[in-house]
Amino acid sequence: MARLLRRTGIRYLRRHPWQFVLAVGGVALGVAVAVSVALATASATRAFVLTNEALTGTATHQIVAGSEGLPDELYRQLRVEVGVRAAAPVVEGFVALAANPARSVRLLGIDPLAEGSIRNQFGADPATRDFPLGELLSESGAVLAAAGDERFALGQSVPVLVDGRQVQLHVVGAVRGAEDSGLGDVLLADIATAQEVLGVTGRLSRIDLRLDGVDEDDLVRRVQGILPATARLVAAQARADTTVQMTRAFELNLQAMSLLAMLCGLFLIYNTMTFSVVQRREQFGALRALGVTRAEILRLVLAEATLIGAVGTVLGVAGGIGLGNGLVRLVTRTINDLYFVVTVRELALPPLTIVTGVVLGMGGTLLAALIPAAEATRVSARLALTRSVLEERALRTSPRLAAVGVGGVAAGFALARWSGGGLAGAFAGLLLIVLGAALMAPVAVRLVAVLAAPLGRLAGAPGLMAARAMTAGLSRTAVAVAALAIAVAVIVGVGVMVTSFRMTLVNWLGHTLQADLYVSPVSPRGQAATLPLDPAQLAAVRAAPGVQRTRSIRAVSLETEGGATQLLVVEHDEPDRQAYRLRGDDPDIAWQSFADGAVLVSEPYAERRGVAAGDVVTLPTPSGARVFAVAGVFYSYASDRGAVMMTRGVYDLWWDDPGISGLSVYLDSPESAQAVAEFTRNALRPALVSVISNRELREQSLRVFDRTFLITGVLRTLVTMVAFAGVLGAILALQLERAREHGMLRATGFTPAQLWQTVLWQSSLIGIAAAILALPLGWLLAWVMIHVINKRSFGWTLQMTVPAEVLWQALLVAVGAALIAGIYPAARIARTPPAIVLRED
Amino acid sequence: MVRVQGLGKSYVEAGAEHVILADVDGEIAAGEFVALVGRSGSGKSTLLNLIAGIDRPDLGEIWVGGSRIDTLSERERTLFRRARVGFVFQFFNLIATLTVAENLQLPLELVGRTRGDADGIVAGLLEEIGLADRGAAFPDRLSGGEQQRVAIARALVHDPDLIIADEPTGNLDLETGEQVLGMLGRMVRERGRTMLMATHSREVAARADRRWRIVEGRLQDEQG
């Protein structure tokens, strides 16, 4: 490109700094949001993978058996009977720090004598060992902690809580480089110590194996031959992948939302570039007359967009890294609440994420600039296509655009609902709906202009001019309206979705939590809890004064073909039916079938595994795999991984596990709650139990829910900020473009106050047009999010609730944002002397 | 230098065809100054655009300096304009983001002249139009007359064969218009260039060697 042509572009941007800053800001914010979400989720995944790699070492396979674990004897059989040399037993669980019970630490029990073949650094070989083997093996409660971790100084005693018991651990050595290798939050102990601490004497959590080499298939076959029925031999990598996959839907939802911020940013770029092209039509015409080719004009406009994109992308990536540091905490907390325990020490910066951010910023900017750039090349040297011709064209094409938009929305809706499209199809459908709605913006503007026609009578000349300006500058106003409408629709959509989810949860908690008190062991997050009770203690609680009845629940994890499956064991009787609402028309038949030995599956389980009433599920029991008929599907929002529920009678028939995980206590009168709670705590000593009331449990559940959606709120705010920048840019462009007209009005006697009114009236009308478009669009987004995306991501059915306040808020945000965006241009116009405006033109 | 033959151009507006030019024939010799006159909307600008290669005729041929331009592609016509046509517009149309000197350098840069060459040529021309001290100024700091002087210099700076001027004094007061017109005529004649100028002014038209008058889409040749 000619040097002077390039210079015209740079000088144009320098002469319109606000335009440049807003456009750069739009790209930067969009990129920052997308990059930060990607970095935060990648960091959590990386932390998990790192820890997992350190914990599995060189193992190629693992023998696992759910929360019940494996017998010690299996390890001996493996080495002696099968002849597997590279094998290491592991006992793994979580303990809570007594000083801070909310904080879980992983306890990894290993056999140093067997570790050499799997995790060399923890082996007994003095040449590679870096810890006091003697103390680790002989001292009670001896553990190794990450070197440099102030919580676990050498020689320190660390009281921890597990399954309602307090246990003392002693730090006898340090693991160097633990932070870097993902073992920062891991305490290492001898296997016997871990069994004692976690209360699983004689059991192993898993056995890590290295089954590589020439006779791998044969070895695998022989290992499988000695496995107990509840155990499975799985590839180590595949197991880790399955765990990471659990968070995929959650991460995908976050990423989709971050892309909405980028989409709003792109509207801003489109608007900025269109304005810059329209403003320079005469200049482009003159250049074309001088012999500048269309390709050179195209390159000129795209070069400007590239500059905006480059500056915005650099700032966006830097901002994304900063924002990512904040978001990673929210993401990690949600993953810990909903999926698995992971500790993220630092923000990971995978080059691919940064490259994606750059591609998104640069590619998006250039894409958004492409239409204005093409428009610039169409500027004829004849200069015949004036602004009014342009607006006339915009008016003429608006019905056609709206028709295409309606088609886009319909196609998007159909695509989203098409079950073959999966989650990606649903998001693509959502994008189509948003773009389709954006195409309806010109018609929405025209509608508001018609409705606002009486403004001339009500608000005089300023009102009349504001109403007329809506259609007179349709090509500008429509873009501003589209950007604002999308942001407000996101507010409505996400607001309705979150409210619907919360209301569904509140209802579900209302009928699920029927008891007055809930008793569970004080146990760390991530640990399958067991109440360490003897029957006499339980009988004492059941017979306590004021207690009407109690119901126990047992929650265990089973290793099945489809991964870990939660099994809920309930004491079934009539009133419990209230606690579980069943899908389908005839719950009585399902309950009868359940009482007769069939199982119920939760809705997420049914959705994920494609199971329905009348089907069967196969579960591993100590006496082999058993097939259970599925009586029905119950609504449950406890976990998106799903659960299988059976009666205690059926469980006792196939499993030899008298343990219980929790107790629901029904009282004669709610007034006795405090006294019964106190009695229960004393009766169950020395076990440390948590006894909480129905209300507290509901509040706790809702706190977790609100925490989970905190990140959604943050993203919603960021999307609104980008859209606000877009509206500010559009209104500035609109008003500055009419500077000459304003100058003339001032010259003919319009007061600054009247100019203020004109601009603010127009801003309000833009806000109203955006709201008219945003409310139905938001409702549609919410519908797709609730009935399609949520269902496909997590398997939950949510009752859609459209709260009036969300709609009012959206209207306020739309008009408020437009009004605020109008203040600066109004002030600027009102204080500029008319002579300067007229001369500048 | 310029020859048009059987030229026809019409536009369709609201479904109806409006004939602007019909069977126009005419010829301009090298070094000649022809004034194009006619009522507003008679088709003066359309004819200028056709001869400059900005627009294409529906019918007929256009030859400029031995090249037939009505058959050229859009890009070829742009490159033809770049090298062989100089434009003077009624509203000056200087590039607002380039200084006065840069506005003059632009056509030279487009035809591939080196910066050293261009600087010398531009300095000479600025001297000639009496704006040697305003080279670093941006156009919006100049008066209307000054801007049109810069526009004239820009039209001539790359030494084109043909100067097309569309109402060059239409936006200037009488006195300034006179000065600008005097300068344009002098510079064009001194360089031996051909000029076709659309104008409403009898006085301006009177200075031309010949007049082309467009009446109802047809061209009438009036000798000076």
Helix or strand holding residue B164 (H, E): strand B162-166
How far is the C-alpha of A511 from the C-alpha of A575, rounded, in Å? 11
Interface test with B, best of A283, A293, A301, A841 (most B CBs within 10 A): A293
What's the whole-number mean pLDDT along residues A357-382? 83
Residues A293, B75: C-beta atoms closer than 8 Å: yes
Which chain A residue's Cα is nearest to B81?
A291
Domain tally for chain B? 1
- List CB contacts of A517: < 8 A, sequence separation 6 or more: A664, A665, A667, A673, A676, A677, A680, A691, A692, A693, A694
Query: What pLDDT shows up at residue A411?
Result: 96
Starting at the earlier edge strand, list the strands of the sheet with A616-621: A616-621, A624-634, A599-602, A643-647, A563-570, A547-560, A662-667, A517-521, A689-693
Query: Looking up tokens 């082999």, which residue turns up?
Result: A624
Interface test with B, best of A4, A12, A298 (most B CBs within 10 A): A4
Report residue A841's pLDDT band, with 50, 70 and 90 as the boundaries. Answer: very low
Statement: residue A393 has pLDDT above 90: no
B182 vs chain A: nearest CA distance in angstroms? 23
The DSSP call for residue A134 is H
Query: What pLDDT shows up at residue A691?
Result: 86
> Residue B95: its chain A contacts at CB < 8 A?
8, 283, 286-287
If DSSP states are collapsed to H, E and C, what string results for A297-350?
HHHHHHHHHHHHHHHHHHHHHHHHHHHHHHHHHHHHHHHHHHCCCCCCCCCCCC
Residues B110, A2: C-beta atoms closer than 8 Å: yes
Report the candidate in A726, A739, A723, A721 with the shortest Cα–Cα distance to residue A825: A739
Query: What pLDDT shows up at residue A338?
Result: 66
Residue B156 falls inside a structural domain: yes
E strand residue ranges, A98-198: 100-110, 142-146, 157-162, 165-175, 186-190
> Residue A836: its chain B contacts at CB < 8 A?
none
> Residue A289: its chain B contacts at CB < 8 A?
52, 54, 81, 87, 89, 93
Residues A7, B93: C-beta atoms closer than 8 Å: no
**Cβ-nearest to A4 among B45, B89, B105:** B105
Q: Which two tokens stand for residue B179?
A: 């000065």
> Residue B162: its chain A contacts at CB < 8 A?
none
Residue B196 falls inside a structural domain: yes
Phi, psi of A304 (to 5 degrees): -65, -45
Which chain B residue's Cα is nearest to A378?
B74
Statement: residue A554 has pLDDT above 60: yes
> Alpha carbon of A146 to those of A156, A162, A178, A278, A348: distances in Å?
13, 21, 5, 63, 20
Residues B75, A294: C-beta atoms closer than 8 Å: yes
> Residue A840: its chain B contacts at CB < 8 A?
140
> Residue B82: its chain A contacts at CB < 8 A?
290-292
Residues A381, B96: C-beta atoms closer than 8 Å: no
Residue B218 falls inside a structural domain: yes
Q: Are A373 and A298 in contact (CB under 8 A)?
A: yes
Residues A8, B81: C-beta atoms closer than 8 Å: no
Q: Sketch the domain layout of chain A as residue ranges.
A: 1-58+240-385, 70-229, 441-512+702-841, 523-687
> Residue A291: its chain B contacts at CB < 8 A?
78-83, 85, 107, 110-111
Helix or strand holding residue B178 (H, E): helix B174-190
Q: Which residues of B touch A (CB under 8 A)?
A: 45, 49, 52, 54-55, 74-75, 78-83, 85, 87, 89, 91, 93-98, 102, 105-107, 109-111, 140, 154
Task: Measure CA A297 to chain center.
Answer: 43
**Which domain, by its residues, includes B208?**
32-44+74-223
B109 vs chain A: nearest CA distance in angstroms? 7
Highest mean pLDDT among A67-71, A327-331, A671-675, A768-772: A768-772
A296 vs chain B: nearest CA distance in angstroms? 11
Q: Kindly report, residue by residue over A222-277, the tens digit of the pLDDT.
A: 888 888 888 888 888 777 777 766 677 677 777 777 777 777 777 777 777 777 78
DSSP string for residues in A429-495: HHHHHHHHHHHTHHHHHHHHHHHTTTHHHHHHHHHHHHHHHHHHTHHHHHHHHHHHHHHHHHHHHHH
Query: What pLDDT shows up at residue B126?
Result: 94
Average pLDDT, chain A: 83
How far is the C-alpha of A348 from the C-alpha of B58, rounded, in Å? 65
N-terminal to C-terminal alpha carbon distance within chain A: 28
Residue B161 falls inside a structural domain: yes
Q: Which residues of A759-786 are buried (b: 16+ CB within 10 A; e: fewer)?
A: bbbbbbbbbbbbbbbbbebbbbbbbbbb
A387 vs chain B: nearest CA distance in angstroms? 16
> Residue A294: its chain B contacts at CB < 8 A?
74-75, 78
How far is the C-alpha of A337 from the C-alpha of A706, rounded, in Å? 11
Q: Are B55 and B49 in contact (CB under 8 A)?
A: yes
Helix or strand holding residue A289 (H, E): helix A281-290
Q: Which residues of A touch B (CB under 8 A)?
A: 2-5, 7-9, 11-12, 15, 282-283, 285-295, 380-382, 840
Q: Kindly report, residue by residue over B85-96, the tens digit of the pLDDT.
A: 998 888 888 888
Residues B54, A289: C-beta atoms closer than 8 Å: yes
Statement: residue A577 has pLDDT above 90: no
If one counts every other C-beta atom within 10 angstroms of the C-beta of residue A371, the result is 13
A284 vs chain B: nearest CA distance in angstroms? 9
How far is the C-alpha of A630 from the C-alpha of A840, rounded, in Å? 79
Query: What pLDDT shows up at residue A388?
Result: 60
**Farthest-apart Cα atoms in chain B, separation:** 54
The DSSP call for residue A82 is I
Average pLDDT, chain B: 89
Q: Kindly report, residue by residue over A271-330, the tens digit of the pLDDT.
A: 777 777 877 877 888 888 888 999 999 999 999 999 999 999 999 999 999 988 888 888
* Strand A186-190 to A100-110 pairing: parallel
Residue B11 falls inside a structural domain: no
Interface test with B, best of A290, A304, A393, A740 (most B CBs within 10 A): A290
Which chain B residue's Cα is nearest to A11?
B97
Report residue A193's pLDDT band, with 50, 70 and 90 as the boundaries. Answer: very high
Percentage of chain B with pLDDT > 90?
Answer: 50
What's the whole-number mean pLDDT along residues B217-224? 82
How far is the C-alpha of B162 from the C-alpha of B193, rounded, in Å? 6
Phi, psi of A317 (to 5 degrees): -65, -45
- List CB contacts of B114: < 8 A, sequence separation 6 or more: none
Query: What pLDDT shows up at residue A385?
Result: 43
Highest mean pLDDT among A89-103, A310-324, A721-735: A310-324
Which has the higher per-residue pLDDT, A638 or A197? A197
**Cβ-nearest to B110 among A283, A291, A840:** A291
Residue B18 falls inside a structural domain: no
Query: What pLDDT shows up at residue A389?
Result: 62
Q: Which two tokens stand for residue A163?
A: 């399954």
Query: What pLDDT shows up at residue A384?
Result: 42
Statement: residue B224 has pLDDT above 60: no
**What CATH number should be reported for the domain holding residue B169?**
3.40.50.300
Q: Which two tokens stand for residue B222?
A: 């009036």
Q: Are A711 and A254 in contact (CB under 8 A)?
A: yes
The DSSP call for residue A284 is H
Residues B78, A294: C-beta atoms closer than 8 Å: yes
Statement: residue A105 has pLDDT above 60: yes
> Alpha carbon of A713 to those of A708, A718, A778: distances in Å?
10, 9, 16
Q: Kindly report, residue by residue over A106-131, the tens digit of the pLDDT.
A: 899 999 888 877 877 777 777 777 77
Altogether, the residues listed in chain B come to a count of 224
**Cβ-nearest to B54 among A2, A15, A381:** A381
A6 vs chain B: nearest CA distance in angstroms? 10
> Residue A3: its chain B contacts at CB < 8 A?
109
The region, left, alpha or beta by phi > 0 then psi within -120 to 50, assigned to residue B164 is beta
Q: Kindly report, residue by residue over B64-119, the tens digit of the pLDDT.
A: 988 999 999 888 988 898 899 998 888 888 888 889 999 999 899 888 888 888 99
Confidence check on the interface: ipTM exceeds 0.90, yes or no: no
A403 vs chain B: nearest CA distance in angstroms? 23
Which chain A residue's Cα is nearest to B165?
A289
B46 vs chain A: nearest CA distance in angstroms? 9
Residues A289, B110: C-beta atoms closer than 8 Å: no
Residues A4, B102: C-beta atoms closer than 8 Å: yes
How far is the C-alpha of A406 from the C-alpha of A438, rounded, in Å? 10
Q: Kindly report, residue by residue over A140-166, the tens digit of the pLDDT.
A: 899 998 877 777 888 889 999 887 788
Statement: residue A704 has pLDDT above 50: yes
The dihedral built from the CA positions of residue A576, A579, A583 and A585, taken in this order, carries a sign that is positive
Which chain A residue's Cα is nearest to B106?
A4
Phi, psi of A555 (to 5 degrees): -120, 120
> Residue B97: its chain A contacts at CB < 8 A?
7-9, 11-12, 15, 283
A243 vs chain B: nearest CA distance in angstroms? 59
> Residue A295: its chain B contacts at CB < 8 A?
75
Q: Kindly report, residue by residue over B170-191, the tens digit of the pLDDT.
A: 878 888 888 888 888 888 888 8
Task: Measure CA A198 to chain center.
Answer: 32
Query: What pLDDT shows up at residue A339?
Result: 66
Residues B81, A7: C-beta atoms closer than 8 Å: no
Which chain A residue's Cα is nearest to B93?
A286
Percentage of chain A with pLDDT > 90?
Answer: 20
Q: Kindly report, residue by residue over A425-478, the tens digit of the pLDDT.
A: 988 998 899 999 999 999 999 999 888 888 777 777 788 888 888 888 787 788
Amino acid identity, residue A11?
Answer: R
Residues B54, A288: C-beta atoms closer than 8 Å: yes
What's the whole-number mean pLDDT along residues A402-409? 96
